[in-house]
A and B are shown apart, each in its own frame.
Chain A
Amino acid sequence: NAGVTQTPKFQVLKTGQSMTLQCAQDMNHNSMYWYRQDPGMGLRLIYYSASEGTTDKGEVPNGYNVSRLNKREFSLRLESAAPSQTSVYFCASSVLDREYEQYFGPGTRLTVT
């Protein structure tokens, strides 16, 4: 099992460009999450999907959109990237109602210039 995978690993964007971060899990988990990690600010929840067909805003959803494509895949889209979105992005998944036990992907380091 690959667990949680993310693509790409690194990305540099110019201000105003758009891109989609991809996440997939092969653990048959119902719930998936997107976080951003900035120095000194921990892991902040952007969006989450408790189950296929549902998505909800987290702590910092502005400037992002998500799509739960199917049970395995959960993508994060930046429509118009800003320097403030420079961060490391982590995707995670868990069994429904076991959100305390999340499995994280390797992360995507995004730089917006």
Chain B
Amino acid sequence: GENVEQHPSTLSVQEGDSAVIKCTYSDSASNYFPWYKQELGKRPQLIIDIRSNVGEKKDQRIAVTLNKTAKHFSLHITETQPEDSAVYFCAQGGYNKLIFGAGTRLAVHP
């Protein structure tokens, strides 16, 4: 069945360092690979997504890469700031729904 594995489950970095979160998916027919950010006590919010026909996408300090052959995609955050501290979820999309990974808790220390 559809499955998304996400690593690591927790990540701690110093302010200004980079953070990388990786996901592996199972369904080769998936079309979309979004990333959501959930701050403590808040609802998840979309921060960036990548389509299956694109290898990389950037938006200021965040970037996503997709390797369709290996069925994995990654979120890169550069120059991390304390406000980047949150839980990040990757997902695979298609067939009118999303399947989420288990999440990565990112802590950015000043």
Q: How many residues of A contact B (CB 8 A)?
A: 25
A105, B38: Cα distance in complex, Å: 12
Residue in A closest to B103 when the chains form the complex, CB atoms: A42
Within 8 A of B (CB), among A78-98: 90, 96-97
| Interface residue? B98 (CB, 8 A) | yes
Within 8 A of A (CB), among B29-67: 32-34, 43-46, 49
Residue in A closest to B43 when the chains form the complex, CB atoms: A104
Residue in B closest to A44 when the chains form the complex, CB atoms: B100
Size category of the B interface is 20 to 34
Within 8 A of B (CB), among A56-74: 56, 58-59
Known: A43-B44, A104-B44. A99 touches B99 (CB 8 A): no
A50, B93: Cα distance in complex, Å: 13
Q: By the criterion CB–CB under 8 Å, are A101 and B44 in contact?
A: no
Known: A40-B9, A101-B46, A101-B49. A45 touches B96 (CB 8 A): no
| Interface residue? B86 (CB, 8 A) | no
A97, B96: Cα distance in complex, Å: 6
Residue in B closest to A90 when the chains form the complex, CB atoms: B43
Chain B residue numbers with a CB within 8 Å of A33 are 97-98
A10, B55: Cα distance in complex, Å: 42
